[in-house]
Protein backbone atom coordinates (compact mmCIF):
# COMPACT_ATOMS: atom_id res chain seq x y z
CA UNK A 1 0.00 0.00 0.00
CA UNK A 2 1.37 3.39 -1.02
CA UNK A 3 1.07 6.43 1.26
CA UNK A 4 0.20 9.86 -0.06
CA UNK A 5 2.45 12.81 0.67
CA UNK A 6 0.56 13.95 3.78
CA UNK A 7 0.63 10.47 5.31
CA UNK A 8 4.38 10.24 4.62
CA UNK A 9 4.92 13.56 6.42
CA UNK A 10 2.96 12.34 9.45
CA UNK A 11 4.97 9.11 9.56
CA UNK A 12 8.22 11.05 9.29
CA UNK A 13 7.22 13.43 12.10
CA UNK A 14 6.18 10.49 14.25
CA UNK A 15 9.60 8.92 13.72
CA UNK A 16 11.40 12.15 14.60
CA UNK A 17 9.38 12.52 17.80
CA UNK A 18 10.15 8.95 18.84
CA UNK A 19 13.84 9.51 18.14
CA UNK A 20 13.87 12.75 20.15
CA UNK A 21 12.11 11.07 23.07
CA UNK A 22 14.64 8.22 22.95
CA UNK A 23 17.55 10.67 23.12
CA UNK A 24 15.91 12.57 25.98
CA UNK A 25 15.31 9.36 27.93
CA UNK A 26 18.95 8.37 27.45
CA UNK A 27 20.10 11.75 28.73
CA UNK A 28 17.83 11.51 31.77
CA UNK A 29 19.07 8.00 32.58
CA UNK A 30 22.74 8.77 31.89
CA UNK A 31 24.80 8.77 35.05
CA UNK A 32 25.98 12.14 36.31
CA UNK A 33 29.54 12.86 37.43
CA UNK A 34 31.07 10.84 34.61
CA UNK A 35 34.82 10.63 34.94
CA UNK A 36 34.88 11.55 38.64
CA UNK A 37 35.58 8.04 39.93
CA UNK A 38 32.13 7.78 41.51
CA UNK A 39 30.80 5.07 39.21
CA UNK A 40 32.63 2.37 41.17
CA UNK A 41 31.95 1.00 44.68
CA UNK A 42 33.52 2.85 47.64
CA UNK A 43 37.08 1.84 48.49
CA UNK A 44 36.11 1.60 52.20
CA UNK A 45 32.66 1.01 53.63
CA UNK A 46 31.74 0.87 57.33
CA UNK A 47 28.27 -0.59 57.77
CA UNK A 48 25.79 0.92 60.19
CA UNK A 49 24.98 -0.79 63.47
CA UNK A 50 22.97 0.21 66.51
CA UNK A 51 25.80 2.35 67.94
CA UNK A 52 27.89 2.78 64.79
CA UNK A 53 27.37 5.42 62.13
CA UNK A 54 27.83 4.35 58.49
CA UNK A 55 30.73 5.60 56.37
CA UNK A 56 31.63 5.22 52.70
CA UNK A 57 34.88 6.53 51.18
CA UNK A 58 35.38 7.24 47.48
CA UNK A 59 38.83 8.05 46.06
CA UNK A 60 38.52 10.78 43.42
CA UNK A 61 42.09 11.08 42.18
CA UNK A 62 45.60 12.52 42.47
CA UNK A 63 47.16 15.66 41.07
CA UNK A 64 50.52 15.68 39.29
CA UNK A 65 51.91 17.79 42.15
CA UNK A 66 51.15 15.37 44.99
CA UNK A 67 47.58 16.12 46.09
CA UNK A 68 44.82 13.59 46.76
CA UNK A 69 41.05 14.11 46.78
CA UNK A 70 38.49 11.82 48.34
CA UNK A 71 34.83 11.88 49.32
CA UNK A 72 33.20 10.63 52.52
CA UNK A 73 29.49 9.87 52.90
CA UNK A 74 28.18 9.95 56.48
CA UNK A 75 24.85 9.92 58.28
CA UNK A 76 24.14 10.95 61.87
CA UNK A 77 22.17 8.74 64.22
CA UNK A 78 19.19 11.10 64.53
CA UNK A 79 19.26 12.54 61.02
CA UNK A 80 17.60 11.67 57.75
CA UNK A 81 20.26 13.62 55.84
CA UNK A 82 23.71 12.58 54.66
CA UNK A 83 26.86 14.63 54.98
CA UNK A 84 29.10 14.29 51.94
CA UNK A 85 32.56 15.59 52.79
CA UNK A 86 34.99 16.36 49.97
CA UNK A 87 38.63 16.64 51.11
CA UNK A 88 41.81 17.55 49.26
CA UNK A 89 45.17 17.08 50.99
CA UNK A 90 48.70 17.90 49.87
CA UNK A 91 50.72 14.73 50.50
CA UNK A 92 54.17 16.30 50.72
CA UNK A 93 53.37 17.57 54.21
CA UNK A 94 49.90 16.05 54.72
CA UNK A 95 48.51 19.57 54.66
CA UNK A 96 44.74 20.02 54.07
CA UNK A 97 44.06 22.13 50.99
CA UNK A 98 40.28 22.16 51.06
CA UNK A 99 37.27 20.65 52.81
CA UNK A 100 33.79 21.08 51.36
CA UNK A 101 30.54 19.72 52.81
CA UNK A 102 27.42 18.85 50.82
CA UNK A 103 24.11 17.98 52.50
CA UNK A 104 21.71 15.57 50.84
CA UNK A 105 18.84 13.36 51.88
CA UNK A 106 20.32 10.43 50.04
CA UNK A 107 23.31 8.11 50.19
CA UNK A 108 23.07 7.63 46.41
CA UNK A 109 26.08 8.85 44.44
CA UNK A 110 23.98 9.78 41.42
CA UNK A 111 21.73 11.98 43.59
CA UNK A 112 24.84 13.79 44.84
CA UNK A 113 26.13 14.25 41.32
CA UNK A 114 22.81 15.48 39.98
CA UNK A 115 22.79 18.30 42.52
CA UNK A 116 26.44 19.13 43.19
CA UNK A 117 28.41 18.03 40.13
CA UNK A 118 29.48 21.57 39.15
CA UNK A 119 30.96 22.63 42.53
CA UNK A 120 32.68 19.24 42.85
CA UNK A 121 34.29 19.64 39.43
CA UNK A 122 35.32 23.24 40.17
CA UNK A 123 37.08 22.23 43.38
CA UNK A 124 38.89 19.32 41.75
CA UNK A 125 39.94 21.50 38.83
CA UNK A 126 41.24 24.17 41.21
CA UNK A 127 43.77 21.77 42.69
CA UNK A 128 44.58 19.94 39.49
CA UNK A 129 43.01 16.61 40.49
CA UNK A 130 43.13 14.34 37.45
CA UNK A 131 40.16 12.08 36.83
CA UNK A 132 39.73 9.08 34.64
CA UNK A 133 40.91 5.66 35.74
CA UNK A 134 39.56 4.59 39.15
CA UNK A 135 41.97 4.80 42.09
CA UNK A 136 42.15 1.35 43.66
CA UNK A 137 42.82 0.57 47.31
CA UNK A 138 45.83 -1.76 47.55
CA UNK A 139 47.54 -3.65 50.31
CA UNK A 140 51.35 -3.56 50.74
CA UNK A 141 53.10 -5.98 48.42
CA UNK A 142 56.41 -7.62 49.38
CA UNK A 143 57.51 -7.38 45.72
CA UNK A 144 56.91 -3.64 45.37
CA UNK A 145 57.52 -0.58 47.57
CA UNK A 146 56.10 -0.05 50.04
CA UNK A 147 56.49 -3.65 51.13
CA UNK A 148 54.68 -3.00 54.40
CA UNK A 149 53.02 -0.43 56.66
CA UNK A 150 53.47 -0.56 60.45
CA UNK A 151 51.53 1.36 63.09
CA UNK A 152 54.11 1.62 65.86
CA UNK A 153 52.64 2.39 69.29
CA UNK A 154 54.62 4.49 71.75
CA UNK A 155 54.21 4.78 75.50
CA UNK A 156 50.99 6.14 76.92
CA UNK A 157 51.40 9.68 78.20
CA UNK A 158 50.14 9.72 81.81
CA UNK A 159 49.32 13.43 81.76
CA UNK A 160 47.47 13.68 78.46
CA UNK A 161 46.16 10.09 78.56
CA UNK A 162 47.09 9.70 74.90
CA UNK A 163 49.25 7.22 73.01
CA UNK A 164 51.14 8.13 69.86
CA UNK A 165 51.14 5.75 66.90
CA UNK A 166 53.84 6.42 64.32
CA UNK A 167 53.10 5.38 60.75
CA UNK A 168 56.13 3.56 59.31
CA UNK A 169 56.59 2.52 55.69
CA UNK A 170 58.76 -0.47 54.93
CA UNK A 171 60.62 -0.77 51.64
CA UNK A 172 63.27 -2.84 49.93
CA UNK A 173 65.93 -0.25 50.89
CA UNK A 174 64.84 0.29 54.50
CA UNK A 175 62.04 2.08 56.29
CA UNK A 176 60.84 5.57 57.23
CA UNK A 177 58.23 7.26 59.38
CA UNK A 178 55.68 9.34 57.51
CA UNK A 179 53.32 10.59 60.22
CA UNK A 180 51.78 10.24 63.66
CA UNK A 181 48.25 9.66 64.89
CA UNK A 182 46.90 9.33 68.43
CA UNK A 183 44.80 6.98 70.50
CA UNK A 184 42.85 9.01 73.06
CA UNK A 185 41.68 7.49 76.36
CA UNK A 186 38.50 8.39 78.23
CA UNK A 187 40.51 9.99 81.07
CA UNK A 188 41.76 12.69 78.70
CA UNK A 189 38.50 14.59 78.97
CA UNK A 190 38.07 14.35 75.19
CA UNK A 191 35.99 11.93 73.15
CA UNK A 192 37.88 8.63 73.19
CA UNK A 193 39.59 7.59 69.97
CA UNK A 194 40.59 3.98 69.43
CA UNK A 195 43.85 2.65 67.97
CA UNK A 196 44.42 3.19 64.24
CA UNK A 197 43.59 0.53 61.69
CA UNK A 198 45.29 0.35 58.31
CA UNK A 199 42.81 0.24 55.41
CA UNK A 200 45.39 0.15 52.63
CA UNK A 201 47.29 2.40 50.24
CA UNK A 202 46.39 4.49 47.20
CA UNK A 203 49.08 4.75 44.54
CA UNK A 204 49.58 7.91 42.49
CA UNK A 205 49.67 7.28 38.73
CA UNK A 206 51.93 10.33 38.19
CA UNK A 207 54.84 9.88 40.58
CA UNK A 208 56.43 7.44 43.02
CA UNK A 209 54.06 8.32 45.86
CA UNK A 210 51.40 6.55 47.89
CA UNK A 211 48.73 7.71 50.31
CA UNK A 212 48.30 5.56 53.41
CA UNK A 213 44.65 5.38 54.48
CA UNK A 214 43.92 4.87 58.19
CA UNK A 215 40.61 4.71 60.06
CA UNK A 216 40.07 5.23 63.79
CA UNK A 217 36.87 4.97 65.81
CA UNK A 218 35.81 7.91 67.97
CA UNK A 219 33.28 7.15 70.71
CA UNK A 220 30.78 9.87 71.54
CA UNK A 221 27.81 10.21 73.86
CA UNK A 222 25.98 7.05 74.88
CA UNK A 223 28.59 4.90 73.18
CA UNK A 224 27.97 6.17 69.65
CA UNK A 225 30.87 5.20 67.35
CA UNK A 226 32.01 7.34 64.44
CA UNK A 227 34.83 6.35 62.08
CA UNK A 228 37.44 9.05 61.42
CA UNK A 229 39.68 9.07 58.35
CA UNK A 230 43.36 10.03 58.19
CA UNK A 231 45.68 10.05 55.19
CA UNK A 232 49.50 10.11 55.23
CA UNK A 233 51.61 10.54 52.11
CA UNK A 234 54.98 8.99 51.40
CA UNK A 235 57.34 8.75 48.44
CA UNK A 236 58.59 5.34 47.44
CA UNK A 237 61.71 6.48 45.55
CA UNK A 238 63.60 8.38 48.25
CA UNK A 239 64.08 8.89 51.97
CA UNK A 240 64.56 5.28 52.97
CA UNK A 241 66.80 4.57 55.95
CA UNK A 242 68.46 1.20 56.55
CA UNK A 243 66.31 -0.88 58.87
CA UNK A 244 67.71 -1.35 62.34
pLDDT at 159: 94
At residue 156, does pLDDT exceed 90?
yes
- Rounded to whole angstroms, the Cα distance separating 228 from 199 reads 12
**63 beta partners:** 129
Mean pLDDT value of segment 204-233: 93
Mean pLDDT value of segment 2-13: 50
Range with lowest mean pLDDT among 23-37, 70-84, 96-110: 23-37
pLDDT band at 24 (very low <50, low <70, confident <90, very high): very low
Q: Which of 142, 167, 134 is nearest to 153 (CA)?
A: 167
Percent of the chain's residues with pLDDT above 90: 66
CA distance to 8, 11, 16, per residue, from 2 (Å): 9, 13, 21
Mean pLDDT value of segment 65-74: 94
pLDDT at 182: 97
At residue 9, does pLDDT exceed 50?
no
Residue 188: phi and psi, rounded to 5, are -70, -15
What beta strand segments (E) does the chain contain? 44-46, 55-62, 67-75, 82-90, 95-104, 137-138, 148-157, 162-171, 174-184, 197-203, 209-219, 225-235
CA distance to 1, 10, 17, 19, 135, per residue, from 5 (Å): 13, 9, 18, 21, 58
At residue 62, does pLDDT exceed 50?
yes
How many residues in total does the chain contain? 244
Mean pLDDT value of segment 64-82: 86
pLDDT band at 26 (very low <50, low <70, confident <90, very high): very low
Neighbours of 242 (CB within 10 A): 7
- Rounded to whole angstroms, the Cα distance separating 86 from 72 reads 7
pLDDT at 168: 98
- The domain ranges of the chain are 44-235
Percent of the chain's residues with pLDDT above 70: 83
Give the global pTM.
Answer: 0.83
pLDDT at 84: 93
CA distance to 115, 122, 219, per residue, from 200 (Å): 31, 28, 23
- Rounded to whole angstroms, the Cα distance separating 172 from 150 reads 15
pLDDT digits (tens, 9 = 90+) for 30-60: 445 776 767 778 999 988 888 888 899 999 9
- Rounded to whole angstroms, the Cα distance separating 77 from 99 reads 22
**46 beta partners:** 55
Amino acid sequence: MRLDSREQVVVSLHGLILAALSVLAAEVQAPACRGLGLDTPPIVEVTAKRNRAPLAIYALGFSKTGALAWLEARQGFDSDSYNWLLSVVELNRDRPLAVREFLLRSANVQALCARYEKPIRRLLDKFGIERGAPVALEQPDPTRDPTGIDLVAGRRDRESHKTAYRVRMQGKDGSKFIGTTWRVDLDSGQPPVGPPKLMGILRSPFEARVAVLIVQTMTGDEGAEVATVKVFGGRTDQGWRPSE
